[in-house]
Amino acid sequence: EPEVTQTPSHQVTQMGQEVILRCVPISNHLYFYWYRQILGQKVEFLVSFYNNEISEKSEIFDDQFSVERPDGSNFTLKIRSTKLEDSAMYFCASSEGAITVDTQYFGPGTRLTVL
């Protein structure tokens, strides 16, 4: 069964550094998402992406964040200047279509630790 994959599994960075988190969505899926989960808390929506543009973003997704689909398979989340409070598990998800709300499948996550 196809799965969403993410790299790296764990990223440690210094405050103020840029990080890029990578995701490979399921191949026939058209909608892509990033969520984050601070340790012990709920999963929070960051951004959704369709047809090479952002379709919705949350208030968490400020100017420090950006997303890109650089080629036909990868979907990336960039954090330009990391802060301590960006430490969290970041999950990528994808869904097939959105005529109706569609099932989202989650990747294994990237644990980001900002020191």
Contact residues toward other proteins (CB under 8 A) are 31, 33, 35, 41-45, 48, 55-56, 58, 91, 95, 98, 100-109
Query: Closer CB to other proteins, residue 98 or residue 115?
Result: 98
Contact 49, 57 (CB under 8 A): no
DSSP E strand stretches across the chain: 5-7, 10-13, 19-24, 31-37, 43-50, 53-57, 65-68, 75-79, 88-95, 105-106, 110-114
Query: Closer CB to other proteins, residue 4 or residue 114?
Result: 4
Query: Closer CB to other proteins, residue 17 or residue 102?
Result: 102
Query: Closer CB to other proteins, residue 82 or residue 110?
Result: 110
Judged by DSSP in three states, 84 sits in: helix
Using CA atoms, how far apart are residues 110 and 90, in angstroms rounded to an integer? 5
Nearest approach, Cβ of residue 106 and other proteins (Å): 4
Nearest approach, Cβ of residue 28 and other proteins (Å): 16
Nearest approach, Cβ of residue 25 and other proteins (Å): 13
